[in-house]
């Protein structure tokens, strides 16, 4: 082979190598460009967190979510977007157990921890594992507290105390069955018959809590059983009491609001969640008259636990984003805002004795910043709840 031909072949070979290297670089750069853009896009996509919240805390939680979203919190480069859905605790429990939650919530804030325990027990039987935890970072943690208290119009409360002494479920029952109504009790004949305020148990878990509380005072103990609920004498007493509610359908899920809006036609008073009474106190005073707040012998506490779902329905990123919002709700600033909604904070750094607090504003009406009665009504089990609901459906439901 001549020297000229050899040089020519070398030049051709070098050219081919240059073309191949250039093509490889072009392909590599071409691939890196779109990949980098895609990664940047994925990193900036928001992580959506859906919270199902009990009716009594939903206004506070929704406002906190609005603030949280506006502050543009992020996790691992992803903006966090929180959506809050209002749902009664008993209704949410049923939807979880029937697997009807859509969209599936990242976390649940029910009225009370025992609802979480009931749902978890159901799924543990189905799946052989927990779906809600009691320890670790994902454990159910209370974010606020409220309790059941009597809210009765001042004029009516004065007559009841003069006639019966202490206002409780037993004396309310006596008032409810008085044949002559308020005239017989010592009030005005124009008031008609005593009308009790109790939430509809199928629309607000407060209705069930009221019946459990009534049973506790009837039997004078803090725990009740299915045998207690199905006792004929108790059922007769409870029917006489619950029949004094004027219209369950009109009270619906927000009895405190309806009491403030419709006054005496809605009822004379009842045992409702303290927070509902406090946020509606001004409306009641402006339209009708002040409410007297009284605390029962056996106190029913709601602790509103923030509960993260542990399961494949939500991603690890969504679960951790929910924890970021939980931390936000537990911050002193947001806990202080809860007080304005009539809720008792769980943070030790926040007191109900703060400027503008309804616990201070309505102390003259009986509101107590520190409840001295310490006998707590024990949470009912599933069988007691179902027995009470069945009894209500058969005897009272309208």
User: For the chain, which residues make up each domain, given as ranges?
Assistant: 47-143+304-330, 146-301+364-395
The model's pTM: 0.83
Q: Which residues of the chain have pLDDT under 50?
A: 1, 3-41
Kindly report the three-state secondary structure assignment for every residue of the chain.
CCHHHHHHHHHHHHHHHHHHHHHHHHHHHHHHHHHHHHHHHHHHCCEEEEEEECCCCHHHHHHHHHHHHHCCCEECCEEEEEEEEECCHHHHHHHHHCCCCCCCCCEEECCCHHHHHHHHHHHHHHHCCCCCECCCCCECEECEEEEEEEEEEHHHHHHHHHHHCCCCHHHHHHHHCCCCHHHHHCCCHHHCCCCEECCCCCCCHHHHHHHHHHHHHHHCCCCCCHHHHCCHHHHHHHHHHHCCECCHHHHCCCHHHHHHHHHHHCCCEEEEEHHHHHHCHHHHHHHCCCEEEECCCCECEECCEEEECCCCCCCHHHHHHHHHHHHHHCCHHHHHHHHHCCCEECCCCCCCCCCCCHHHHCHHHCCCCCCCCCCECCCCCHHHHHHHHHHHHHHCCC
191-236 confidence digits (pLDDT tens) = 999 999 888 888 888 888 999 999 999 999 999 999 999 999 999 9
Q: Return the structure tokens found at 385.
A: 């709840």
Decide if 47-143+304-330 and 146-301+364-395 have a common fold.
Answer: yes
Q: Is the Cβ–Cβ distance between 119 and 386 less than 8 Å? A: no
Please report the pLDDT score of residue 19 as a whole number: 44
Please report the pLDDT score of residue 21 as a whole number: 40
Q: Which CATH architecture has domain 146-301+364-395?
A: 3-Layer(aba) Sandwich (3.40)
Please report the pLDDT score of residue 257 as a whole number: 78
The CATH classification of domain 47-143+304-330, taken from the options 1.10.10.10, 3.30.43.10, 3.40.190.10, 3.40.50.970: 3.40.190.10
Q: Is the Cβ–Cβ distance between 161 and 304 less than 8 Å? A: no
Please report the pLDDT score of residue 253 as a whole number: 65
Q: How far does the chain reach from its first CA to its final CA, in angstroms? A: 109
Token pair 């029937």 is found at: 98
Percent residues over pLDDT 70 in the chain: 87
């Amino acid at each position: 082979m001549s020297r000229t031909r050899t040089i020519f072949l070398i030049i051709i070979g070098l050219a081919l190598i240059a073309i191949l290297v250039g093509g490889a670089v072009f392909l590599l750069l071409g691939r890196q460009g779109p990949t980098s853009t895609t990664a940047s896009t994925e990193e900036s996509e928001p992580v959506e967190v859906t919270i199902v919240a009990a009716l009594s805390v939903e206004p506070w939680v929704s406002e906190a979510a609005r603030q949280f979203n506006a502050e543009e919190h992020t996790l691992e480069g992803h903006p966090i977007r929180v959506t809050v859905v209002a749902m009664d605790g008993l209704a949410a429990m049923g939807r979880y157990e029937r697997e009807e939650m859509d969209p599936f919530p990242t976390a649940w804030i029910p009225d009370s921890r025992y609802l979480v325990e009931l749902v978890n027990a159901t799924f543990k039987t189905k799946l052989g594992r927990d779906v809600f935890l009691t320890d670790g970072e994902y454990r159910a943690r209370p974010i606020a507290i409220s309790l059941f208290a009597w809210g009765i119009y001042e004029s009516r409360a004065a007559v009841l105390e003069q006639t019966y002494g202490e206002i409780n479920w037993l004396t309310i029952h006596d008032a409810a069955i008085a044949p002559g109504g308020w005239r017989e009790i010592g009030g005005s004949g124009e008031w008609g018959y005593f009308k009790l305020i109790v939430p509809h148990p199928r629309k607000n878990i407060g209705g069930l809590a009221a019946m459990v509380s009534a049973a506790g005072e009837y039997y004078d103990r803090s725990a009740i059983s299915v045998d207690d609920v199905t006792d004929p004498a108790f059922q007769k007493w409870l029917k006489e009491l619950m029949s004094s509610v004027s219209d369950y359908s009109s009270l619906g899920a927000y009895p405190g609001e309806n009491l403030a809006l419709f006054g005496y036609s809605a009822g004379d008073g009842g045992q409702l969640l303290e927070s509902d009474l406090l946020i509606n106190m001004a409306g009641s005073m402006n339209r009708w008259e002040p409410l007297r707040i009284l605390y029962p012998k056996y106190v029913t506490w709601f602790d509103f636990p923030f509960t993260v779902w542990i399961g494949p329905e939500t991603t690890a990123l969504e679960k951790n984003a929910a924890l970021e919002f939980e931390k936000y709700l537990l911050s002193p600033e947001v806990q202080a805002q809860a007080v304005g909604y009539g809720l008792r904070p769980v943070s030790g750094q926040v007191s109900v004795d703060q400027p503008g607090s309804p616990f201070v504003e309505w102390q003259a009406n009986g509101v107590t910043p520190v409840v001295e009665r310490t006998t707590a009504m024990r949470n009912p089990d599933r069988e007691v709840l179902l027995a009470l609901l069945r009894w209500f459906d058969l005897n009272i439901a309208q």
